[in-house]
Structure 1
Amino acid sequence: MQNKQTKGVIIDNNNPFISFCCYRNYMPPKKINYAHIDLEIVSLLKRAFIPAARVSIFVTFFWFGSVKLTGASPAGPLAEALTAKTIGLQHFDASFITLSVVECVIGVLFLFPKMTRIVIPLLLAHMVLVSSPLALLPDHTWQQPFVPTLEGQYILKNVVVVAVAIGIAASVQPLDSGHALERSPRRSGVFVA
């Protein structure tokens, strides 16, 4: 069979590789479907968020609680000052150990999805307690208005923990999921079962 020349390319019909590579058999590459890739990534992140959030809260709370139990926590002096201002230093050891154990328990409970309804209020109560130095100990937590000390920054970052906990709580199925509440169409703001 003879060779033919097409647009400056010699095509050898006897050579399957050259025949495969020539323009008449060439299939242009498919266009990249960015919307599909984005959908896959977002879908993966949605599936990973709750487990990752649970594990990150577990690691943080269990770790910090354990460090407090060993007495090596840098939060000790702040906790001591708060105890002195509120319930008295005679209760510091017991309250600090209790706080440490509660932090570890909160961390462990976040690993169990069925415990979410119990652990979220426990976490929120804990956040109120550990955030109280912002108001009760301003000398320890603020350099000047709206400029926190290192301890103040440490406390303010708990807002992120609360936001993650809200995300976890939002993933919980309602207790009576068979009778989901529906909003009546624009006539009123009342929910109808």
Structure 2
Amino acid sequence: MSSVPAAPGIQPVGLPPVPAVTFGIFDRLRAAEAGLKTFLEKWSVGALRVSLGLVFVVFGALKFIPGASPLESLVEQTWGVLTFGIVGGQLALILTAIIETTAGVLLVSGKFARVGLVVLALAFVGILSPIAFFPGELFTETGPTLLGQYIVKNVVLIAAALVVASKVLRGPARR
């Protein structure tokens, strides 16, 4: 056998035919990716809206039950500061429970998601206020306390609310 390469289209004698190289698998992968993207564009924001709503329904409902929420004391203190001492105690917990569960139910419904986002925006003011009012209870020199971690994770919920808002708010999209 010669070590000289064969000319294009000519098969050396004694060797099996070389199959033509196809990119069919890559075409199928691109099509699958495009299909997945279409599916996600259609369903992911709705799924995020419902799951965000359910989080607020569950955590809001806990505040209706005395002793069920680890944030009871912090909620009462925060309402006290925000209302200059007018609202506190059990009333603060009930108001917070109403606000959070209402926002959650409105988001889950889908039909009233825009109103739910407004209620949720108001809730986030109270949810994030302890960072400014009680940093000593939320952070130590080594990092956030358990309550601090509970509050800081709300950054993810805020981001989720912003994504949902980008889909459900009316008006033209600008590029």
Task: Judge same fold: TM > 0.5, yes or no.
Answer: yes
Distance (Å, rounded) in 2 between the aligned partners of 1:152 and 1:60 = 18
Matched, 1:126 2:120: no
Decide which of 56, 59, 63 is 2:54's aligned counterpart.
59
Structure 2: gaps (5+ residues) = 1-13
Distance (Å, rounded) in 2 between the aligned partners of 1:181 and 1:40 = 24
Matched, 1:36 2:31: yes
Identity in percent? 29
Displacement after TM superposition at 1:89 (Å) = 8.2
Give the number of the structure with larger relative contact order, counting CA–CA contacts within 8 Å between residues 6 or more apart.
2
Residue 132 of structure 1: SS of its match in structure 2? Answer: helix
Distance 1:138 1:162, change over 3 A: same
Quote the residue 2:166 is aligned against.
170
Residue-pair matches, total: 157
Distance 1:84 1:102, change over 3 A: closer
Decide which of 43, 46, 59 is 1:48's aligned counterpart.
43
Q: How does 1:1-193 map to 2 (within 5 A)?
A: 30-33=24-27, 34-71=29-66, 72-86=68-82, 87-88=84-85, 91-144=88-141, 147-172=143-168, 174=170, 180=172
**Alpha-carbon RMSD:** 3.0
Structure 1: gaps (5+ residues) = 1-6, 8-22, 184-193
TM-score with structure 1 setting the length: 0.69
Distance (Å, rounded) in 1 between the aligned partners of 2:75 and 2:174 = 46
Contact 1:78 1:140 in 2 (8 A): no
Letter in 1 for 2:157: V
Select between 32-41 and 60-69 the one with higher mean Cα deviation.
Answer: 32-41
Q: Larger Rg: 1 or 2? A: 1
Letter in 2 for 1:104: T
Residue 126 of structure 1: SS of its match in structure 2? Answer: helix
Deviations 1:77-127 (A, max 9, x none): 222333454543873211210110111110000023332322222211111
